[in-house]
Protein backbone atom coordinates (compact mmCIF):
# COMPACT_ATOMS: atom_id res chain seq x y z
CA UNK A 1 0.00 0.00 0.00
CA UNK A 2 1.41 3.36 -1.01
CA UNK A 3 0.47 6.57 0.77
CA UNK A 4 1.57 10.05 -0.31
CA UNK A 5 0.94 12.95 2.04
CA UNK A 6 1.44 16.57 1.02
CA UNK A 7 0.48 18.82 3.89
CA UNK A 8 -1.41 18.18 7.10
CA UNK A 9 -4.87 17.64 5.61
CA UNK A 10 -4.06 16.08 2.27
CA UNK A 11 -3.18 12.42 1.81
CA UNK A 12 -3.49 10.39 -1.36
CA UNK A 13 -3.91 6.67 -0.98
CA UNK A 14 -3.10 4.37 -3.86
CA UNK A 15 -5.01 1.19 -3.19
CA UNK A 16 -4.34 -1.67 -5.58
CA UNK A 17 -6.11 -5.01 -5.26
CA UNK A 18 -2.88 -7.01 -5.42
CA UNK A 19 -1.45 -5.02 -2.50
CA UNK A 20 -4.75 -4.70 -0.60
CA UNK A 21 -5.16 -8.48 -0.69
CA UNK A 22 -2.23 -8.72 1.70
CA UNK A 23 -4.27 -6.61 4.11
CA UNK A 24 -7.30 -8.87 3.66
CA UNK A 25 -8.68 -6.26 1.26
CA UNK A 26 -9.62 -3.70 3.93
CA UNK A 27 -8.13 -0.61 5.49
CA UNK A 28 -9.55 1.61 8.25
CA UNK A 29 -8.86 5.34 8.18
CA UNK A 30 -9.69 8.20 10.56
CA UNK A 31 -10.49 11.45 8.75
CA UNK A 32 -10.31 14.64 10.82
CA UNK A 33 -12.72 17.50 10.13
CA UNK A 34 -12.19 18.73 6.53
CA UNK A 35 -9.50 16.10 5.88
CA UNK A 36 -9.61 14.67 2.38
CA UNK A 37 -8.18 11.59 0.74
CA UNK A 38 -8.42 9.98 -2.65
CA UNK A 39 -7.96 6.44 -3.90
CA UNK A 40 -7.13 5.23 -7.38
CA UNK A 41 -9.48 2.28 -7.89
CA UNK A 42 -8.19 -0.69 -9.86
CA UNK A 43 -9.42 -4.24 -10.12
CA UNK A 44 -13.04 -4.99 -9.36
CA UNK A 45 -13.93 -1.89 -7.34
CA UNK A 46 -14.06 -0.45 -3.85
CA UNK A 47 -16.56 -0.37 -0.99
CA UNK A 48 -16.43 2.68 1.26
CA UNK A 49 -18.01 2.08 4.66
CA UNK A 50 -18.65 5.21 6.73
CA UNK A 51 -18.53 3.92 10.31
CA UNK A 52 -18.88 7.28 12.10
CA UNK A 53 -19.41 10.85 10.98
CA UNK A 54 -20.43 12.29 7.63
CA UNK A 55 -18.34 12.00 4.46
CA UNK A 56 -18.63 13.53 1.00
CA UNK A 57 -17.73 11.10 -1.81
CA UNK A 58 -17.17 11.81 -5.49
CA UNK A 59 -15.79 9.58 -8.21
CA UNK A 60 -14.29 10.07 -11.62
CA UNK A 61 -16.85 9.88 -14.48
CA UNK A 62 -19.82 10.10 -12.08
CA UNK A 63 -21.74 13.39 -12.42
CA UNK A 64 -23.28 12.95 -8.94
CA UNK A 65 -21.64 13.59 -5.59
CA UNK A 66 -22.69 11.57 -2.55
CA UNK A 67 -23.00 12.58 1.10
CA UNK A 68 -22.90 9.57 3.41
CA UNK A 69 -23.87 9.72 7.07
CA UNK A 70 -22.87 6.77 9.25
CA UNK A 71 -23.70 4.02 9.06
CA UNK A 72 -23.56 4.01 5.27
CA UNK A 73 -21.82 2.25 2.39
CA UNK A 74 -20.89 3.44 -1.08
CA UNK A 75 -19.76 0.97 -3.77
CA UNK A 76 -17.90 1.80 -6.95
CA UNK A 77 -17.31 -0.70 -9.72
CA UNK A 78 -15.58 1.86 -11.94
CA UNK A 79 -11.87 2.30 -12.45
CA UNK A 80 -10.50 5.74 -11.65
CA UNK A 81 -10.17 8.14 -8.76
CA UNK A 82 -12.54 8.33 -5.80
CA UNK A 83 -12.24 11.30 -3.41
CA UNK A 84 -13.56 11.55 0.15
CA UNK A 85 -13.78 14.48 2.56
CA UNK A 86 -15.04 14.47 6.14
CA UNK A 87 -17.52 17.15 7.24
CA UNK A 88 -16.57 16.31 10.85
CA UNK A 89 -14.32 13.65 12.37
CA UNK A 90 -15.15 10.34 10.68
CA UNK A 91 -14.05 6.72 10.58
CA UNK A 92 -14.13 5.02 7.20
CA UNK A 93 -13.26 1.52 6.05
CA UNK A 94 -12.08 0.93 2.49
CA UNK A 95 -12.58 -2.56 1.17
CA UNK A 96 -11.27 -3.79 -2.16
CA UNK A 97 -13.96 -5.89 -3.83
CA UNK A 98 -13.03 -9.47 -4.53
CA UNK A 99 -13.42 -10.81 -8.06
CA UNK A 100 -16.64 -12.79 -8.54
CA UNK A 101 -16.31 -16.38 -9.63
CA UNK A 102 -18.74 -17.87 -12.11
CA UNK A 103 -20.52 -21.01 -11.00
CA UNK A 104 -19.37 -24.08 -12.89
Assigned domain for 103 exists: no
d(CA 81, CA 102): 28
pTM exceeds cut of 0.85: no
Assigned domain for 102 exists: no
Q: pLDDT tens digits, residue range 30-70?
A: 999 999 998 888 777 889 999 999 999 999 888 899 999 99
Domain containing residue 23? 2-96
Question: Could you tell me how many residues make up the chain?
Answer: 104
Assigned domain for 53 exists: yes
- Most distant CA atoms of the chain, gap in Å: 50
Question: How many other C-beta atoms lie within 10 A of the C-beta of residue 91?
Answer: 16
What's the total number of domains in the chain?
1
Question: How many other C-beta atoms lie within 10 A of the C-beta of residue 62?
Answer: 13
Amino acid sequence: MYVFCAGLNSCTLYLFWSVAARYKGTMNKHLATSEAMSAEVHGTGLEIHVLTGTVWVTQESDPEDHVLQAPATFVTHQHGRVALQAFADAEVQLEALKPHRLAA
